[in-house]
């Protein structure tokens, strides 16, 4: 059973962020985060393995789409999931009710079927009702610790974000890994045009 969700988007560039960091010299940043003055946006998609207490983030700079969500799961499965669960024939996803993995999005359902075919797994999805995302384990088992690891850090690049997110850990054994997905995800696709990257 894994819990998935997209964390809040962040702007890449010289923007101030909440929190404090210790530096030897002062760091000047912009106090308003106008997208036009940045280098793009960072879209983090999180996967939390409840059984192993492990978190994984996939970072992208394109768009938060159903295709990105399913590519993120496929990447996690190929890198980690199939090694930890070699005999698995089913995968249960805990998802929020909205966003790129919404229960009422036909594009997500078709991308999910393509994912199941690609991985050779039966995939089941348990969607939380609207306004109940706070009960999704990823919201309190992974995302707060990633936020803490990145407090005050200026995301000048995706590589810097990756570097600090990888430092996520807790005294209860939570470990985090981070990868960058370089695919370009286009919004506005209809349900008949979803093809996952192999």
Q: What is the model's pTM?
A: 0.87
Query: Tens digit of pLDDT per residue, the chain (198 long)?
Result: 899 888 888 878 777 667 767 767 777 777 767 676 777 899 999 999 999 999 999 999 999 999 999 999 999 999 999 999 999 999 999 998 888 888 888 899 999 999 999 999 999 999 998 888 889 999 999 999 999 988 888 888 999 999 999 999 999 899 899 999 999 998 888 776 555 555
Q: Cα–Cα distances in Å, from 78 out to 28, 70, 74, 75, 174?
A: 41, 12, 6, 5, 21
Describe the crossing of helices 106-119 and 66-76 by its angle, rounded to 10 degrees.
20
Domain range annotation of the chain: 2-19+38-180
- Where on the phi/psi map is residue 53: left (φ > 0), alpha (ψ -120 to 50), or beta? left
How distant is the alpha carbon of residue 122 from its chain centre? 22
Domain 2-19+38-180, CATH homologous superfamily name and number: Ribonuclease H-like superfamily/Ribonuclease H (3.30.420.10)
């Amino acid at each position: 059973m894994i819990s998935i969700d997209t964390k809040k988007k962040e702007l890449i560039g010289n923007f101030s962020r909440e929190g404090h960091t210790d530096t030897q010299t002062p760091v000047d940043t912009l106090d308003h985060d106008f997208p036009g003055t940045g280098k793009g946006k960072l879209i983090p998609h999180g996967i939390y393995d409840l059984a192993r207490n492990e978190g994984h983030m996939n970072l992208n700079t394109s768009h938060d789409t159903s295709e990105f969500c399913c590519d993120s799961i496929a990447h996690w499965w190929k890198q980690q999931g199939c090694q930890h669960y070699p005999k698995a024939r089913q995968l249960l996803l805990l998802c929020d009710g909205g966003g790129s993995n919404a229960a009422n999005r036909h594009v997500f359902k078709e991308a999910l079927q393509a994912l199941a075919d690609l991985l050779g797994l039966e995939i089941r999805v348990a969607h939380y009702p609207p306004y109940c995302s706070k009960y999704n384990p990823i919201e309190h088992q992974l995302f707060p610790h990633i936020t803490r690891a990145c407090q005050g850090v200026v995301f000048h690049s995706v590589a810097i974000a990756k570097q600090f997110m990888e430092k996520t850990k807790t005294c209860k054994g939570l470990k985090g890994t981070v990868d960058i997905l370089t695919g370009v995800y286009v919004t506005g696709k209809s349900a008949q045009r979803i093809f996952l990257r192999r």
